[in-house]
Amino acid sequence: MSGLARVMEVLRLFSPEHDAWTVHDMAEALHGPPSTLYRHIADMVTAGLLESGSGARYRLGPAFVEFDRLVRLTDPLVQCGAPMLRRLVDEADVPCVALLCRLYNATVMCVADAATPSIGFSSGFERGRPMPPLRGAASRAILAHLPPRRLAGVLRQSGDASTWPGGSEAALRAELKTIRKSRIAISHGEVTPGLVGFAAPVLSLSLGLRASLTVTITADALDATTRHRVAAMVVEAARALSVALAGHTSPAGAPELITAGGYHENISKLTPPQNPATLGASRHISGADHHDI
């Protein structure tokens, strides 16, 4: 096993439930002798990936705080998308949480979020927490736009198909096809009971990004008008973000969010209106769906 692989094995031992480890406990969990770990642990402490505490116990180190700041300042998805999340929350006119999620190996992970002040609920898609790739609108909006080979790889790692949404691979693929055509995924209570998620794909071939933009609302707050308006805003915001990423523009230069008036009344057939200024970029983004990244 390479040194990097061993370092990653050590780091993945840490969790909210087990936030400090001795070398002996690490070795036992990794089924290896402590002697083989000491050099890796020493190097990780020097790099700031781990720090030692009392009782010869190690916890995650300050290097992660440093790199988290760099990600927030340099990740194009976060840089372009975070202001859009704030604007979505402000314009939704209903208490909600807005999320940016991206594919992370065979999981989906939230990389930025925004919420209505003093909101009474939270999304299960917590920033930095890897989530199952088949559960929730945020995940399936991404899966629907994966190249066939990449999708097959994710599905192979997702357990028995009888536990998937719809109860079979055929049902899941049919749902993904519908999402791909409509560019909107809607889920009910799959991640957090009582919440409804609206998600649309965010795609950038040049940046290698397969992501989604999601708004989560309590089911009690939804009526037909709110459902349509929020779904339309999510589709338009995701389209605007994809265009901004494709053109490497700032969020301020992206099209403004619009209300449901510019969309077909049937949410299952929602497609964004074609803005002449962004039509070429939108076609380029759609064309990216069939390339492996």
Residue written as token pair 């030692």: 52
pLDDT value at residue 1: 57
Is the pLDDT at 290 greater than 70, yes or no?
no
DSSP result, the chain: --HHHHHHHHHTT--SS---EEHHHHHHHHTS-GGGTHHHHHHHHHHTSEEE-GGGEEEE-THHHHHHHHHHHH-HHHHHHHHHHHHHHHHS-S--EEEEEEEETTEEEEEEEEE-TT-S---S--BT-EE-TTSSHHHHHHHTTS-HHHHHHHHHTS--GGGSTTSSHHHHHHHHHHHHHHS-EEEESSSSTTEEEEEEEEEETTTTEEEEEEEEEEGGG--HHHHHHHHHHHHHHHHHHHHHHHHT--GGGSPPP--GGGS-S-GGG------TTTHHHHHHHHHGGGS--
How large a percentage of the chain has pLDDT more than 70?
A: 84
- Determine the Cα–Cα distance for residues 21 and 8; give it in Å rounded to an integer: 15
pLDDT above 60 (res 221): yes
* Adjacent-strand bridge partners of 157: none
User: How many angstroms separate the CA atoms of 5 and 10, rounded?
Assistant: 9
CATH superfamily of 75-290: GAF domain (3.30.450.40)
In whole numbers, what is the pLDDT of the chain averaged over residues?
A: 84
> Is there a contact between 51 and 65 (Cβ–Cβ < 8 Å)?
no
What pLDDT score does 18 carry? Answer: 95
Question: What is the CA angle 172-123-169, rounded to 5?
Answer: 10
Give the mean model confidence (pLDDT) for residues 9-31.
95
**What is the band of 8 on the pLDDT scale with cuts at 50, 70, 90?**
very high
The least confident of 85-99, 231-245, 256-270 is 256-270
pLDDT tens digits along 239-280: 999 999 987 544 444 444 433 333 333 333 333 333 333 323
Q: How far is the CA of 246 from the CAs of 19, 78, 80, 228, in angstroms?
A: 40, 14, 11, 27
At residue 202 the predicted structure's pLDDT band, cuts being 50, 70 and 90, is very high
**Helices 224-247 + 279-287 axis angle, to 10:** 90
Fold of 3-66: Arc Repressor Mutant, subunit A (1.10.10)
Q: Mean pLDDT across the stretch 46-62?
A: 94
Q: pLDDT, tens digit, for every residue of 118-140?
A: 888 888 889 999 998 999 999 99
Question: 137 is written with which tokens?
Answer: 């609108």
Share of the chain above pLDDT 90, in %: 66
Give the separation between CA 24 and CA 229, rounded to whole angstroms.
56
Q: What is the mean pLDDT of residues 139-155?
A: 93
- Edge-first strand listing for the sheet containing 50-52: 21-22, 57-60, 50-52
Q: What is the mean pLDDT of residues 68-91?
A: 93
Looking at residue 118, its pLDDT comes to 82
Across the range 201-222, mean pLDDT stands at 92
Report domain extents, the chain.
Answer: 3-66, 75-290
Look at residue 32 and tell me whether its pLDDT is greater than 90: no
Q: 151-185 pLDDT, tens per residue?
A: 999 999 988 888 898 889 999 999 999 999 999 99
Q: At 208, is the pLDDT very low, low, confident or very high (cuts 50, 70, 90)?
A: confident
Contact by Cβ (8 Å): 140, 175: yes
* pLDDT tens profile 101-124: 999 988 999 999 999 998 888 888
Q: Which residues pair with residue 130 across a beta bridge? A: 109
Does pLDDT of 19 surpass 60? yes
Check the CA dihedral 278-101-217-182 and report its sign. Answer: positive
pLDDT of residue 248: 56
23-58 core/surface letters (b: 16 or more CB in 10 A; e: else) = beebbeebeeeeeebeebbeebeeeebbeeeeeeeb
